[in-house]
Amino acid sequence: MTSLYLIRAIGALVFLGGVQLAFHRSRRNVWSGLRLPWTLADEEIWERSNRVAGYLMALYSTLFFLPLEGRTVAMLSLPGAALFGSLSAWYARHCYRMKHGTIRTQFVSFGHYEPIDRH
């Protein structure tokens, strides 16, 4: 029974993290948010991708509140995290490619990227 409370608490934390990503507009940084070369290279992609990742995290957190056994939820949580994480990364890559016409970025310094000029 205690493990069920722990699973629900983890689900609540994941939900709160998703809400924070979806609704809190933070600047690009190397500590929080969806940190990929494409999101760190472009402010607009950063905001759009983090908003979508936040919605997906909130959706993923509903898994922790389904009326299932704790063992079942624990077994489903890892593939679910991989799925929703992959969707978030794919969306960031897709947005960057649509805006810049390429998926290549240029590494500038630790954690900072810039779009590559195609001219």
- How far apart CA 87 and CA 89 sit, in angstroms, is 6
Largest Cα–Cα distance of the chain, in whole Å?
Answer: 62
Structure tokens at 22: 């979806």
Q: How many CB atoms lie within 10 A of CB 74?
A: 15
- How far apart CA 77 and CA 46 sit, in angstroms, is 26
- How far apart CA 4 and CA 64 sit, in angstroms, is 9
113 forms beta bridges with 107
pLDDT of residue 111: 65
pLDDT-based confidence at 109, cuts 50/70/90? low
pLDDT tens digits, 29-74: 778 889 998 998 889 999 999 999 999 999 999 999 888 887 888 8
107 forms beta bridges with 113
pLDDT tens digits, 79-101: 999 999 999 999 999 999 999 98
